[in-house]
């Protein structure tokens, strides 16, 4: 399995993280692209918040923070989501 990127440098309270989500992907992965854009690929289908829950799980692991510290600010039903790290 591919190594998840270490995003712990972003894990400061108040940091906002924009991610682009690709649901129904072939594998779960967090990828940092050119310019620092973060893409999250999840195998889950985008219904009933399942994909968002999977994104939170992957992102919290990459950031090294508990899932409860990730707050979804914008993009509940969109591919482009904005998360904030809480205290």
pLDDT given for residue 85 in this prediction: 96
pLDDT given for residue 78 in this prediction: 94
The H or E element that residue 84 is part of is strand 80-85
Residue 76 tokens, joined: 């509940």
Q: What's this model's pTM, rounded to 2 decimal places?
A: 0.91
Tens of pLDDT, residue by residue, the chain (87 residues): 456 788 989 999 999 999 999 999 999 999 998 888 999 999 999 999 999 999 999 999 999 999 999 999 999 999 999 999 999
Q: How far apart are CA 40 and CA 65, in angstroms?
A: 16
| Burial class (CB within 10 angstroms; exposed 0-12, middle 13-18, buried 19+) of 83 | buried
């Amino acid at each position: 399995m591919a190594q998840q990127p270490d995003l712990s440098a972003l894990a400061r309270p108040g940091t906002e993280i924009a991610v682009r989500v690709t649901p129904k992907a072939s594998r779960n992965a967090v990828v940092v692209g050119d310019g620092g854009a973060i893409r999250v690929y999840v195998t889950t289908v985008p219904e009933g918040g399942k994909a968002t829950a999977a994104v939170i799980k992957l992102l919290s692991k990459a950031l090294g923070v508990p899932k409860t510290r990730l707050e979804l600010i914008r993009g509940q039903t969109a591919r482009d989501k904005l998360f904030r790290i809480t205290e």
